[in-house]
Amino acid sequence: MNQRYIGMISVSVVLIGVILFFALPKQKQSSPELIDNGTFEVVKVAEEVPEMRFGIETKNYEAIEGKIRRNQTIADILFPYNISRKQIFELDKASQDVFSVRKLVVNKRYTLLYSADSVKTAAYFIYEPNNLEYVVYSLVDGLDIYKEQREVEIVERTMSGLITVSLDHSIRKQGGGAALVSRVADVFGWQIDFRSLQRNDWFKVIYEDKLVNGESIGVGEVISAEFSHINNSYMAYAYDDGDGFDYYDDQGESLQKAFLRYPIEFSRISSRYNPNRLHPVLKRRSPHLGTDFAASKGTPIKAAADGIIITRGYTRANGNWVKIKHNGTYTTGYLHMSKLGNFKQGQRVKKGDVIGYVGKTGLATGYHLCFRFWKRGQQVDYLNEKTLPSENPISEDQLAKFSAFIELQNKKLDDIQKEWADGTINANANQ
Protein backbone atom coordinates (compact mmCIF):
# COMPACT_ATOMS: atom_id res chain seq x y z
CA MET A 1 0.00 0.00 0.00
CA ASN A 2 1.16 3.51 -0.74
CA GLN A 3 3.15 4.85 2.25
CA ARG A 4 1.30 8.15 2.06
CA TYR A 5 -2.09 6.44 2.51
CA ILE A 6 -0.78 4.40 5.46
CA GLY A 7 0.36 7.60 7.15
CA MET A 8 -2.99 9.29 6.63
CA ILE A 9 -4.84 6.30 8.13
CA SER A 10 -2.55 6.29 11.18
CA VAL A 11 -3.08 9.99 11.81
CA SER A 12 -6.88 9.54 11.52
CA VAL A 13 -6.90 6.73 14.11
CA VAL A 14 -4.94 8.86 16.58
CA LEU A 15 -7.27 11.84 16.07
CA ILE A 16 -10.38 9.68 16.62
CA GLY A 17 -8.85 8.30 19.83
CA VAL A 18 -8.13 11.79 21.18
CA ILE A 19 -11.66 12.97 20.34
CA LEU A 20 -13.25 9.96 22.11
CA PHE A 21 -11.04 10.42 25.21
CA PHE A 22 -12.24 14.00 25.77
CA ALA A 23 -15.82 13.46 24.58
CA LEU A 24 -16.81 10.41 26.67
CA PRO A 25 -17.93 11.02 30.34
CA LYS A 26 -15.44 9.98 32.98
CA GLN A 27 -16.35 7.46 35.72
CA LYS A 28 -15.90 8.92 39.21
CA GLN A 29 -13.46 7.11 41.43
CA SER A 30 -13.48 6.97 45.22
CA SER A 31 -10.42 8.65 46.65
CA PRO A 32 -8.48 6.22 48.82
CA GLU A 33 -7.02 7.38 52.11
CA LEU A 34 -3.62 6.08 53.20
CA ILE A 35 -3.96 4.69 56.71
CA ASP A 36 -1.32 4.05 59.32
CA ASN A 37 -0.43 0.47 58.42
CA GLY A 38 0.42 1.35 54.81
CA THR A 39 -2.80 0.00 53.27
CA PHE A 40 -5.54 2.00 51.63
CA GLU A 41 -9.09 2.39 52.88
CA VAL A 42 -11.93 4.07 51.00
CA VAL A 43 -13.55 6.57 53.36
CA LYS A 44 -17.33 6.88 53.19
CA VAL A 45 -18.13 10.50 52.36
CA ALA A 46 -21.76 11.56 52.70
CA GLU A 47 -22.93 12.75 49.25
CA GLU A 48 -25.53 15.06 50.78
CA VAL A 49 -25.24 16.14 54.38
CA PRO A 50 -28.71 16.73 55.92
CA GLU A 51 -29.21 20.29 57.14
CA MET A 52 -29.35 19.07 60.77
CA ARG A 53 -27.36 16.17 62.21
CA PHE A 54 -26.69 15.55 65.89
CA GLY A 55 -28.39 18.88 66.54
CA ILE A 56 -25.82 20.68 64.34
CA GLU A 57 -26.65 22.82 61.31
CA THR A 58 -24.52 21.19 58.61
CA LYS A 59 -25.21 23.08 55.37
CA ASN A 60 -21.66 24.52 55.33
CA TYR A 61 -19.94 21.20 56.10
CA GLU A 62 -19.02 17.96 54.45
CA ALA A 63 -19.10 14.68 56.39
CA ILE A 64 -16.99 11.59 56.76
CA GLU A 65 -18.39 8.55 58.56
CA GLY A 66 -16.35 5.65 59.85
CA LYS A 67 -15.61 3.24 62.67
CA ILE A 68 -12.71 3.43 65.09
CA ARG A 69 -9.85 1.19 63.95
CA ARG A 70 -7.52 -0.76 66.20
CA ASN A 71 -4.88 1.53 67.76
CA GLN A 72 -6.47 4.58 66.11
CA THR A 73 -6.43 7.79 68.15
CA ILE A 74 -8.28 11.06 67.90
CA ALA A 75 -5.07 12.60 66.54
CA ASP A 76 -5.03 10.09 63.66
CA ILE A 77 -8.50 11.24 62.66
CA LEU A 78 -8.09 15.01 63.10
CA PHE A 79 -4.51 15.70 61.94
CA PRO A 80 -5.39 15.38 58.22
CA TYR A 81 -8.07 18.04 58.74
CA ASN A 82 -5.86 20.88 59.92
CA ILE A 83 -6.09 20.35 63.66
CA SER A 84 -2.77 21.04 65.39
CA ARG A 85 -1.03 19.04 68.13
CA LYS A 86 -1.75 21.86 70.54
CA GLN A 87 -5.47 21.66 69.79
CA ILE A 88 -5.38 17.85 70.21
CA PHE A 89 -3.71 18.30 73.62
CA GLU A 90 -6.36 20.82 74.68
CA LEU A 91 -9.13 18.54 73.40
CA ASP A 92 -7.71 15.59 75.34
CA LYS A 93 -7.56 17.63 78.54
CA ALA A 94 -11.02 19.19 78.13
CA SER A 95 -12.70 15.85 77.35
CA GLN A 96 -11.81 14.25 80.69
CA ASP A 97 -14.90 15.62 82.45
CA VAL A 98 -17.37 14.54 79.73
CA PHE A 99 -16.02 11.60 77.71
CA SER A 100 -12.28 11.18 77.34
CA VAL A 101 -11.02 10.90 73.76
CA ARG A 102 -8.66 8.23 75.12
CA LYS A 103 -11.66 5.90 75.61
CA LEU A 104 -12.54 5.45 71.94
CA VAL A 105 -13.47 1.80 71.35
CA VAL A 106 -12.69 -0.23 68.23
CA ASN A 107 -15.62 -0.54 65.78
CA LYS A 108 -17.67 2.22 67.41
CA ARG A 109 -19.06 4.72 64.92
CA TYR A 110 -17.94 8.31 64.46
CA THR A 111 -18.76 11.23 62.15
CA LEU A 112 -16.40 14.06 61.20
CA LEU A 113 -17.84 17.33 59.90
CA TYR A 114 -15.33 19.58 58.16
CA SER A 115 -15.50 22.90 56.28
CA ALA A 116 -16.60 22.63 52.66
CA ASP A 117 -13.91 25.06 51.46
CA SER A 118 -10.47 24.28 50.05
CA VAL A 119 -8.83 24.24 53.51
CA LYS A 120 -11.05 21.40 54.83
CA THR A 121 -10.74 22.11 58.55
CA ALA A 122 -12.42 19.81 61.07
CA ALA A 123 -15.35 21.51 62.81
CA TYR A 124 -17.09 18.71 64.76
CA PHE A 125 -16.12 15.19 65.76
CA ILE A 126 -19.08 13.07 66.90
CA TYR A 127 -18.44 9.73 68.63
CA GLU A 128 -21.16 7.14 69.33
CA PRO A 129 -20.28 4.94 72.34
CA ASN A 130 -23.62 3.11 71.99
CA ASN A 131 -26.88 3.24 70.06
CA LEU A 132 -28.49 5.66 72.49
CA GLU A 133 -25.79 8.25 73.22
CA TYR A 134 -23.40 10.37 71.20
CA VAL A 135 -20.62 12.76 72.25
CA VAL A 136 -20.02 16.00 70.33
CA TYR A 137 -16.51 17.51 70.30
CA SER A 138 -16.96 20.99 68.82
CA LEU A 139 -13.81 22.62 67.42
CA VAL A 140 -15.57 25.79 66.24
CA ASP A 141 -14.65 29.01 68.07
CA GLY A 142 -12.83 27.17 70.85
CA LEU A 143 -13.65 23.80 72.43
CA ASP A 144 -17.07 22.62 73.54
CA ILE A 145 -17.72 18.99 74.52
CA TYR A 146 -21.11 17.58 75.47
CA LYS A 147 -23.00 14.30 75.54
CA GLU A 148 -26.53 13.87 74.17
CA GLN A 149 -29.13 11.10 74.02
CA ARG A 150 -31.24 10.23 71.03
CA GLU A 151 -35.00 10.19 71.35
CA VAL A 152 -36.24 6.76 72.45
CA GLU A 153 -39.46 5.42 70.95
CA ILE A 154 -41.39 2.89 73.04
CA VAL A 155 -43.21 0.23 71.02
CA GLU A 156 -45.62 -2.19 72.67
CA ARG A 157 -44.96 -5.77 71.58
CA THR A 158 -46.65 -9.07 72.30
CA MET A 159 -45.31 -12.59 72.43
CA SER A 160 -46.72 -16.03 73.15
CA GLY A 161 -44.89 -19.30 73.51
CA LEU A 162 -45.15 -22.96 74.42
CA ILE A 163 -42.55 -24.42 76.76
CA THR A 164 -40.76 -27.31 75.09
CA VAL A 165 -37.34 -27.02 76.75
CA SER A 166 -37.20 -23.91 78.95
CA LEU A 167 -38.42 -20.32 79.10
CA ASP A 168 -35.03 -19.18 77.81
CA HIS A 169 -35.26 -21.55 74.83
CA SER A 170 -38.83 -20.51 73.97
CA ILE A 171 -38.11 -16.77 74.00
CA ARG A 172 -34.77 -17.00 72.19
CA LYS A 173 -36.20 -19.30 69.52
CA GLN A 174 -38.16 -16.44 67.99
CA GLY A 175 -35.52 -13.72 68.47
CA GLY A 176 -36.04 -12.57 72.05
CA GLY A 177 -32.98 -12.02 74.21
CA ALA A 178 -31.71 -12.59 77.72
CA ALA A 179 -33.19 -9.29 78.94
CA LEU A 180 -36.75 -10.37 78.13
CA VAL A 181 -36.16 -13.82 79.66
CA SER A 182 -34.94 -12.11 82.83
CA ARG A 183 -37.88 -9.67 82.90
CA VAL A 184 -40.47 -12.46 82.67
CA ALA A 185 -38.63 -14.60 85.23
CA ASP A 186 -38.45 -11.64 87.63
CA VAL A 187 -42.18 -10.91 87.29
CA PHE A 188 -43.24 -14.47 88.17
CA GLY A 189 -40.16 -15.36 90.22
CA TRP A 190 -42.03 -15.82 93.51
CA GLN A 191 -45.02 -17.64 91.97
CA ILE A 192 -43.27 -20.09 89.63
CA ASP A 193 -40.08 -22.10 90.05
CA PHE A 194 -38.63 -21.80 86.55
CA ARG A 195 -36.37 -24.79 87.16
CA SER A 196 -39.46 -27.02 87.25
CA LEU A 197 -41.38 -25.87 84.17
CA GLN A 198 -43.26 -28.64 82.36
CA ARG A 199 -43.65 -29.35 78.66
CA ASN A 200 -46.82 -27.68 77.41
CA ASP A 201 -46.70 -24.91 79.98
CA TRP A 202 -47.27 -21.69 78.05
CA PHE A 203 -47.10 -17.93 78.38
CA LYS A 204 -48.32 -14.68 76.87
CA VAL A 205 -46.57 -11.39 77.48
CA ILE A 206 -47.02 -7.73 76.52
CA TYR A 207 -43.81 -5.75 76.88
CA GLU A 208 -42.02 -2.56 75.86
CA ASP A 209 -39.42 -2.51 73.10
CA LYS A 210 -37.14 0.56 73.16
CA LEU A 211 -36.20 1.86 69.71
CA VAL A 212 -33.73 4.46 68.47
CA ASN A 213 -33.95 5.35 64.78
CA GLY A 214 -36.10 2.28 64.28
CA GLU A 215 -33.59 -0.13 65.83
CA SER A 216 -34.18 -1.96 69.11
CA ILE A 217 -31.76 -1.00 71.88
CA GLY A 218 -33.32 -3.04 74.67
CA VAL A 219 -36.41 -4.21 76.51
CA GLY A 220 -38.40 -1.94 78.78
CA GLU A 221 -41.06 -3.05 81.26
CA VAL A 222 -43.31 -6.08 81.04
CA ILE A 223 -46.76 -4.46 80.92
CA SER A 224 -48.84 -7.57 81.55
CA ALA A 225 -48.43 -11.32 81.28
CA GLU A 226 -50.16 -14.64 81.71
CA PHE A 227 -48.36 -17.89 82.53
CA SER A 228 -49.96 -21.32 82.54
CA HIS A 229 -47.91 -23.71 84.70
CA ILE A 230 -49.14 -27.26 85.33
CA ASN A 231 -52.64 -26.08 84.33
CA ASN A 232 -52.57 -23.25 86.88
CA SER A 233 -52.97 -19.72 85.52
CA TYR A 234 -50.82 -16.88 86.90
CA MET A 235 -51.55 -13.26 85.94
CA ALA A 236 -49.26 -10.23 86.27
CA TYR A 237 -49.92 -6.52 85.69
CA ALA A 238 -47.48 -3.60 85.94
CA TYR A 239 -49.34 -0.75 87.61
CA ASP A 240 -48.20 2.64 88.85
CA ASP A 241 -50.09 3.62 91.99
CA GLY A 242 -48.22 6.92 92.23
CA ASP A 243 -45.02 5.57 93.80
CA GLY A 244 -43.70 3.82 90.68
CA PHE A 245 -44.44 0.54 88.91
CA ASP A 246 -44.98 -2.68 90.78
CA TYR A 247 -46.46 -6.02 89.71
CA TYR A 248 -49.83 -7.25 90.96
CA ASP A 249 -52.09 -10.23 90.37
CA ASP A 250 -55.73 -9.94 89.30
CA GLN A 251 -56.77 -9.43 92.95
CA GLY A 252 -54.44 -6.46 93.42
CA GLU A 253 -51.98 -8.39 95.60
CA SER A 254 -48.29 -7.66 95.03
CA LEU A 255 -46.33 -10.32 93.14
CA GLN A 256 -43.07 -8.98 94.46
CA LYS A 257 -41.23 -9.74 97.64
CA ALA A 258 -38.97 -7.21 99.27
CA PHE A 259 -36.16 -9.43 97.82
CA LEU A 260 -35.36 -10.35 94.22
CA ARG A 261 -36.02 -14.01 93.47
CA TYR A 262 -32.59 -14.26 91.89
CA PRO A 263 -29.85 -11.58 92.21
CA ILE A 264 -28.38 -12.44 88.80
CA GLU A 265 -29.19 -13.62 85.29
CA PHE A 266 -27.79 -17.14 85.45
CA SER A 267 -27.56 -20.29 83.32
CA ARG A 268 -28.07 -22.82 86.11
CA ILE A 269 -27.74 -23.40 89.83
CA SER A 270 -24.39 -25.14 90.08
CA SER A 271 -24.43 -25.82 93.81
CA ARG A 272 -27.14 -25.52 96.44
CA TYR A 273 -27.07 -24.89 100.18
CA ASN A 274 -25.48 -28.04 101.64
CA PRO A 275 -24.16 -28.33 105.23
CA ASN A 276 -22.21 -31.50 104.25
CA ARG A 277 -20.67 -30.57 100.91
CA LEU A 278 -17.28 -31.81 99.62
CA HIS A 279 -15.35 -28.60 98.84
CA PRO A 280 -14.21 -28.62 95.14
CA VAL A 281 -10.90 -26.86 95.91
CA LEU A 282 -10.00 -27.98 99.44
CA LYS A 283 -11.17 -31.59 98.78
CA ARG A 284 -12.60 -31.99 102.26
CA ARG A 285 -16.02 -31.85 103.85
CA SER A 286 -16.94 -28.21 104.33
CA PRO A 287 -20.47 -26.76 104.65
CA HIS A 288 -21.69 -24.79 101.66
CA LEU A 289 -23.97 -22.22 103.27
CA GLY A 290 -25.01 -20.47 100.09
CA THR A 291 -26.40 -20.93 96.57
CA ASP A 292 -24.10 -20.91 93.54
CA PHE A 293 -25.47 -19.40 90.33
CA ALA A 294 -23.32 -20.29 87.30
CA ALA A 295 -23.01 -17.38 84.86
CA SER A 296 -20.52 -15.94 82.37
CA LYS A 297 -17.71 -13.65 83.48
CA GLY A 298 -18.82 -10.04 83.88
CA THR A 299 -22.53 -10.76 84.34
CA PRO A 300 -24.00 -7.96 86.53
CA ILE A 301 -24.82 -8.87 90.14
CA LYS A 302 -27.77 -7.03 91.71
CA ALA A 303 -28.56 -6.10 95.28
CA ALA A 304 -31.30 -8.51 96.34
CA ALA A 305 -33.13 -5.81 98.34
CA ASP A 306 -32.76 -2.29 99.71
CA GLY A 307 -30.02 -1.97 102.31
CA ILE A 308 -26.61 -0.65 103.35
CA ILE A 309 -23.25 -2.10 102.26
CA ILE A 310 -21.47 -3.15 105.46
CA THR A 311 -18.57 -5.07 103.87
CA ARG A 312 -16.79 -4.47 100.56
CA GLY A 313 -13.38 -5.91 99.78
CA TYR A 314 -11.30 -9.04 99.24
CA THR A 315 -10.55 -12.16 101.29
CA ARG A 316 -8.66 -15.31 100.35
CA ALA A 317 -11.77 -17.50 100.49
CA ASN A 318 -14.46 -15.12 99.25
CA GLY A 319 -12.44 -13.21 96.67
CA ASN A 320 -14.01 -9.86 95.86
CA TRP A 321 -17.23 -9.71 97.82
CA VAL A 322 -19.98 -7.47 99.17
CA LYS A 323 -22.22 -7.86 102.20
CA ILE A 324 -25.49 -5.90 102.56
CA LYS A 325 -27.54 -5.42 105.73
CA HIS A 326 -31.20 -5.00 104.81
CA ASN A 327 -32.81 -4.63 108.23
CA GLY A 328 -32.62 -6.17 111.69
CA THR A 329 -33.53 -9.59 110.31
CA TYR A 330 -31.92 -10.08 106.89
CA THR A 331 -28.37 -9.74 105.48
CA THR A 332 -27.02 -10.95 102.13
CA GLY A 333 -23.52 -11.70 100.76
CA TYR A 334 -22.18 -11.85 97.18
CA LEU A 335 -18.88 -13.71 96.63
CA HIS A 336 -16.15 -14.32 94.00
CA MET A 337 -16.74 -11.16 91.93
CA SER A 338 -14.42 -10.32 89.04
CA LYS A 339 -14.74 -6.68 90.06
CA LEU A 340 -16.78 -4.62 92.49
CA GLY A 341 -19.43 -2.08 91.50
CA ASN A 342 -19.33 1.64 92.14
CA PHE A 343 -21.13 1.59 95.52
CA LYS A 344 -18.84 2.10 98.51
CA GLN A 345 -18.95 0.69 102.01
CA GLY A 346 -21.57 2.51 104.08
CA GLN A 347 -23.62 3.53 101.05
CA ARG A 348 -27.32 2.70 100.72
CA VAL A 349 -28.38 0.62 97.71
CA LYS A 350 -31.79 -0.17 96.28
CA LYS A 351 -33.11 -3.51 95.11
CA GLY A 352 -31.72 -4.21 91.65
CA ASP A 353 -28.69 -1.86 91.85
CA VAL A 354 -25.58 -3.42 90.28
CA ILE A 355 -23.04 -4.02 93.06
CA GLY A 356 -20.48 -6.11 91.15
CA TYR A 357 -19.78 -8.56 88.34
CA VAL A 358 -19.44 -12.34 88.14
CA GLY A 359 -15.94 -13.77 88.48
CA LYS A 360 -14.05 -16.63 90.12
CA THR A 361 -11.81 -14.82 92.61
CA GLY A 362 -10.96 -16.48 95.92
CA LEU A 363 -11.57 -20.23 96.32
CA ALA A 364 -13.59 -20.82 93.16
CA THR A 365 -13.18 -23.23 90.24
CA GLY A 366 -15.48 -21.55 87.71
CA TYR A 367 -17.35 -18.34 87.02
CA HIS A 368 -20.33 -18.04 89.34
CA LEU A 369 -21.98 -16.03 92.10
CA CYS A 370 -22.06 -17.58 95.56
CA PHE A 371 -25.07 -15.95 97.21
CA ARG A 372 -25.26 -16.04 101.01
CA PHE A 373 -28.37 -15.28 103.07
CA TRP A 374 -28.49 -14.55 106.81
CA LYS A 375 -31.70 -14.56 108.85
CA ARG A 376 -31.31 -13.24 112.39
CA GLY A 377 -27.56 -13.84 112.15
CA GLN A 378 -27.79 -17.45 110.93
CA GLN A 379 -27.05 -18.51 107.34
CA VAL A 380 -30.08 -20.25 105.82
CA ASP A 381 -31.13 -21.71 102.46
CA TYR A 382 -32.49 -18.71 100.58
CA LEU A 383 -34.37 -20.81 98.01
CA ASN A 384 -36.37 -22.49 100.76
CA GLU A 385 -37.39 -19.31 102.55
CA LYS A 386 -41.20 -19.08 102.57
CA THR A 387 -41.79 -16.11 104.85
CA LEU A 388 -39.95 -13.25 103.13
CA PRO A 389 -41.76 -9.91 103.43
CA SER A 390 -43.99 -8.90 100.49
CA GLU A 391 -44.50 -5.53 98.91
CA ASN A 392 -47.78 -3.69 99.58
CA PRO A 393 -51.07 -4.52 97.76
CA ILE A 394 -53.00 -1.98 95.67
CA SER A 395 -54.40 0.75 97.91
CA GLU A 396 -58.18 1.00 98.17
CA ASP A 397 -58.34 4.39 96.47
CA GLN A 398 -56.61 2.87 93.39
CA LEU A 399 -58.77 -0.26 93.06
CA ALA A 400 -61.28 1.21 90.56
CA LYS A 401 -58.53 2.46 88.21
CA PHE A 402 -56.63 -0.80 88.62
CA SER A 403 -59.75 -2.84 87.71
CA ALA A 404 -60.20 -0.80 84.51
CA PHE A 405 -56.53 -1.26 83.67
CA ILE A 406 -56.54 -5.04 84.04
CA GLU A 407 -59.78 -5.31 82.03
CA LEU A 408 -58.00 -3.61 79.10
CA GLN A 409 -54.89 -5.76 79.54
CA ASN A 410 -56.92 -8.97 79.70
CA LYS A 411 -58.54 -8.12 76.36
CA LYS A 412 -55.09 -7.57 74.82
CA LEU A 413 -53.80 -10.84 76.28
CA ASP A 414 -56.86 -12.70 74.96
CA ASP A 415 -56.15 -11.30 71.49
CA ILE A 416 -52.68 -12.88 71.41
CA GLN A 417 -53.05 -16.10 69.44
CA LYS A 418 -51.78 -19.41 70.81
CA GLU A 419 -50.35 -20.79 67.58
CA TRP A 420 -48.35 -23.68 68.98
CA ALA A 421 -50.13 -26.81 67.82
CA ASP A 422 -46.78 -27.58 66.14
CA GLY A 423 -44.66 -25.99 68.88
CA THR A 424 -44.20 -22.66 67.10
CA ILE A 425 -44.06 -19.26 68.78
CA ASN A 426 -45.85 -16.11 67.75
CA ALA A 427 -44.63 -12.52 68.14
CA ASN A 428 -46.26 -9.27 67.07
CA ALA A 429 -45.68 -5.53 67.37
CA ASN A 430 -48.44 -3.03 68.13
CA GLN A 431 -47.56 0.59 67.43
Percent of the residues in the chain that have a pLDDT greater than 90, as a whole number = 61
* Per-residue confidence band for 243, with pLDDT thresholds at 50, 70 and 90: confident
Residue 232 DSSP code: E
Over residues 352-380, the mean pLDDT reads: 94
Rg over CA atoms, the chain: 31
Mean pLDDT for all residues in the chain = 85
3-state SS class at 333: strand
Q: Please give the pLDDT value at position 94.
A: 95
336 Rama class: left (phi>0) / alpha (psi -120 to 50) / beta: left
Q: Which CATH architecture has domain 268-384?
A: Distorted Sandwich (2.70)
- pLDDT (tens digit per residue) in 369-388: 999 999 999 999 998 888 88
- Same CATH fold, 153-256+391-430 and 32-149? yes
Q: Please give the pLDDT value at position 48.
A: 55
Residue ranges per domain, the chain? 32-149, 153-256+391-430, 268-384
Residue 42 DSSP code: E
Q: Please give the pLDDT value at position 330.
A: 95
Q: Provide the CATH number for the domain formed by 153-256+391-430 in this structure.
A: 3.10.450.350
Over residues 108-114, the mean pLDDT reads: 96
Q: Please give the pLDDT value at position 302.
A: 96
Q: Which CATH architecture has domain 32-149?
A: Roll (3.10)
Q: pTM of the predicted model, to two decimals? A: 0.65
| 323 contact partners, CB below 8 Å, separation of at least 6 | 309, 310, 311, 312, 331, 332, 333, 334
Q: Please give the pLDDT value at position 190.
A: 86
CA distance 157 to 408: 15
Which one of 26-40, 92-106, 279-293 scores highest in mean pLDDT? 92-106
Over residues 204-212, the mean pLDDT reads: 95
Q: Please give the pLDDT value at position 38.
A: 35
Mean pLDDT check: name the lowest of 17-26, 152-161, 249-258, 345-354. 17-26
